[in-house]
Chains A and B, each alone.
Chain A
Amino acid sequence: MMAKKEKQFWPIEGVTRSEVIKSQNDTRFNFLRTRKSRRLMIAGLSLLTILVALSSALPTKASSYVGTLGGLILLIGYLLLRTSVRHIADSPDELLDERQIALRDRSYLHSYRIISSVFAILLVALFIRIDLSENAIEISEWWGTGTWFSLIMLMAGLPSMVVAWLDKGEDEI
C-alpha cells in the first residue's frame, strides 16, 4: 500500500485511492451489485451505446434529443456500473486483492477483443465507403458526434461491463 493520498490512477476515467477504498467497503449501493442489476445495466448500456452511436442518422431534431439525452444517461449508467463493480476495472494492483487483479486483467483481455472487433467492423465500413462509394451506404449519413461519444464511452466503460458480466452478483456469494 503505497502511493500518494489522492493519486489519480489512469489518465482519463481515473479513480483516486480514497475513492477505491471507499468503494471496496461500500454497502449503500449493494442493490446495484446483484447479478440481476449488473446484467440489466450491461444490457441497457449496450443498447444505449448503439442508439447514441446511430443517433446522427435520425432527423436533425430527434438526433439532437436522442444524442444529448442518451449520452447523459449513458454517462450516468457508466458511473453506476463502476460503482457496481467497486471500481475494480480502474484500480491499480496495490488497491486490489489477487482475485480482483485476476478479474480485472481478464476483463481487459475480453475488452481488447471486443474493441478490436468493433474497430475492425468500422474499418471495413470505411473501406467499403472508399472503394465502393458509388453504391455503398454513405457512412457520413450516420457518423456524427454521437458515434464519437459512444466509441469513447465504450472504450472507457467496457472493462467495467466485462467485470460486471464475469463477476457473480454479490447476492450470490
Chain B
Amino acid sequence: MLHSMSRNQEEPLFNRIEAARNALGISRADLAKLTDVHYQTIGYIERGEYNPSLALALRIAKALDLEVSEIFSTKPFRKEAK
C-alpha cells in the first residue's frame, strides 16, 4: 500500500544507500540524524519503498559524501565485486 505514496509510481528509483552507509560504517539511525528524518524513513528509502524529495536526496548524498547520481538511479546499480 505504501508504494502508492511514491512520488513517481511508474518509474522505480534504485539506490545504494545501504552500501554507501556500510562503507562509511554508519547506521540507519546515524544517517537519519544527519539528514533530519526518522530512521524508519531511511529504511523505506533503502528498500525503494519511498522516493525521497530532491532536497532529501541531496541531504543524503551530502551525508554520505557522494553525488546524488552515485546513490540514486532510475536503473539498477551493478553489484559491486567484493
Contact = CB atoms under 8 A, between A and B. Distances in A.
Interface in A62-117: 86, 96-100, 102-103, 106
Given A98-B52, A98-B53, A170 B40 contact: yes
A165 B5 CA distance: 13
Contacts of A138: none
A168 interface: yes
Interface residues of B, number: 17
A97 B50 contact: no
Contacts of B24: none
A126 to B, nearest CB: 34
A167 interface: yes
Grouping DSSP codes into helix (H, G, I), strand (E, B) and loop, the A interface class, with mixed when no group exceeds half, is helix
B76 to A, nearest CB: 21
Interface stretch (B12-20, B41-49, B61-69): B41-49
B36 interface: yes
| A-side interface size class | 10 to 19
Interface of A: 24, 86, 96-100, 102-103, 106, 165-168, 170, 173
Given A97-B38, A99-B38, A103-B5, 18 more contacts: A24-B38, A98-B37, A98-B41, A99-B44, A100-B41, A103-B2, A106-B5, A165-B1, A166-B2, A166-B5, A167-B2, A168-B2, A168-B44, A168-B49, A170-B40, A173-B40, A173-B43, A173-B47
